[in-house]
């Protein structure tokens, strides 16, 4: 059993799954933080209402960002070629995301330092930027990954990226950005409906229902585009050597209009995942209307899980396709770190990831309960 778990093929697939788990964990946890920030100008009309919304995420946002750090660390250690290409090729987009996310902790810390209404309003808009911009840009990044990224390798495996920031903002990528934004706005509204009381929760239910419908329709529309072959796709046509060295130049990949559908054709049971990616947001929309906060939040989580998982299942075994030279695309079987690195990282993950999950669960249990205007007033300066 140990030999099977630690062979190169298994380790590569396990780390592909773990990367998906970390990305989904980030979207499910920090996703509602971003969603609340994006919703702040629309669900809260007065200063006390804005404080209610902010205090639903204020105690947990730092812990939720651990998933972002873990995801970046996993890419760096397990998929170094992916890290090099994505973090250098998407540098300006990454800088935009980091700038927006840096605004958030500064806004949390400084917003309530002064009673001045203009001061607080400026920091509230900083929270909006810190929520809406990453939610949009992360989807744009996924859209570019689906469309293909303009890069290639030299014979000595030096990567060359030929794209620009404005090239990243193509119609396919922006469409995926809208899917991501609507999905996380839905999730933020589900959190506010679950955690807040009063007008903030009421407005969140109305907006959340619309965002959930938008997420379902946009995701279904993207599926139709893939099915019609309008979005394109890629397919590995050469033999796959799962336990071979990491060399992205040793395979043949072609652009294929139905490339992102091949796994679903080969294993029809996988179609349940994208179907749930449509059904779950619709259930969330119904939950908003029925005021079933707990079920709405669970449906929102399920929708996020299935939407992100659909992308991973469609692209497998490709991780990042090249639009300029498809055969230089990065794949699960030729873009990973060494077997020893993946093995040692897996041992560390088995030890420490349960600790992160246990601590996160404990924090949420301690902070259980709704946030109301009365509770914020009663907390005084200790509240955000």
Kindly state the percentage of the chain with pLDDT values over 90.
Answer: 58
Mean pLDDT (whole number) for 296-310: 96
DSSP β-ladder status, 234-236 and 159-161: unpaired
Token pair 């979207």 is found at 27
Per-residue pLDDT tens digits for 181-198: 999 999 999 999 999 999
SS (H, E, C) 17-45: HHHHHHHHHHHHHHHHHHHHHHHHHHHCC
Task: State how far the Cα of 268 lies from the Cα of 272, in Å rounded to an integer.
Answer: 8
pLDDT above 70 (res 140) = yes
Check residue 254 and give its pLDDT.
93
Mean pLDDT (whole number) for 132-149: 92
Per-residue pLDDT tens digits for 12-70: 999 999 999 999 999 999 899 999 999 999 999 998 999 999 989 988 888 888 888 88
Per-residue pLDDT tens digits for 216-244: 999 999 988 787 677 789 999 999 988 88
Kindly state the percentage of the chain with pLDDT values over 70.
Answer: 97
Distance of CA 32 to the CA centre of its chain: 11
Per-residue pLDDT tens digits for 356-376: 888 888 888 887 888 888 888
Mean pLDDT (whole number) for 206-213: 97
Contact 307, 183 (CB under 8 A): yes
Per-residue pLDDT tens digits for 251-285: 999 998 889 999 999 999 999 999 999 999 999 99
């Amino acid at each position: 059993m140990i030999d099977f778990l630690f062979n190169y093929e298994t380790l590569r697939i396990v780390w592909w799954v773990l990367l998906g788990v970390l990305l989904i964990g980030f979207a499910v946890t920090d996703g509602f933080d971003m969603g609340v920030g994006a919703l702040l100008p629309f669900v809260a009309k007065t200063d006390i209402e804005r404080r209610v919304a902010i205090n639903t995420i204020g105690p947990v946002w730092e812990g939720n960002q651990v998933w972002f750090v873990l995801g970046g660390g996993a890419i760096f250690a397990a998929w170094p070629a992916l890290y090099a290409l994505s973090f250098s090729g998407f540098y300006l987009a990454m800088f935009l995301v980091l700038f927006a996310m840096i605004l958030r902790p500064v806004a949390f810390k400084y917003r309530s330092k002064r009673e001045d209404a203009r001061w607080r309003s400026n920091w509230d808009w900083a929270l909006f930027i810190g929520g809406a911009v990453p939610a949009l840009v992360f989807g744009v990044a996924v859209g570019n990954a689906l469309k293909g990224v303009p890069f290639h390798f030299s014979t000595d495996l030096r990567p060359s990226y030929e794209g620009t920031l404005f090239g990243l903002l193509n119609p396919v990528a922006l469409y995926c950005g809208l899917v991501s934004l609507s999905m996380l706005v839905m999730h933020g509204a589900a959190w506010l409906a679950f955690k807040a009381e009063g007008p903030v929760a009421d407005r969140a239910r109305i907006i959340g229902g619309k965002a959930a419908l938008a997420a379902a329709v946009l995701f279904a529309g993207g599926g139709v585009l893939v099915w019609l072959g309008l979005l394109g796709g890629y397919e590995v046509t050469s033999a796959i050597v799962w336990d071979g060295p990491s060399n992205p130049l040793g395979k043949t990949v072609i652009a294929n209009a139905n490339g992102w559908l091949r796994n679903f054709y080969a294993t029809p049971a996988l179609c349940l995942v994208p179907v749930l990616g449509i059904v779950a947001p619709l259930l969330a929309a119904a939950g908003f209307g029925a005021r079933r906060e707990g079920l709405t939040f669970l449906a929102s989580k399920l929708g996020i899980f299935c939407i992100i998982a659909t992308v991973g299942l469609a692209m497998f075994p490709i991780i990042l396709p090249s639009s300029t030279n498809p055969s230089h695309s990065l794949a699960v079987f030729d873009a990973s770190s060494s077997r020893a690195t993946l093995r040692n990282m897996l041992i560390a993950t088995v030890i420490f990831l349960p600790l992160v999950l246990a601590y996160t669960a404990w924090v949420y249990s301690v902070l259980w309960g709704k946030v109301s205007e009365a509770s914020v007033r009663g907390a005084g300066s200790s509240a955000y």
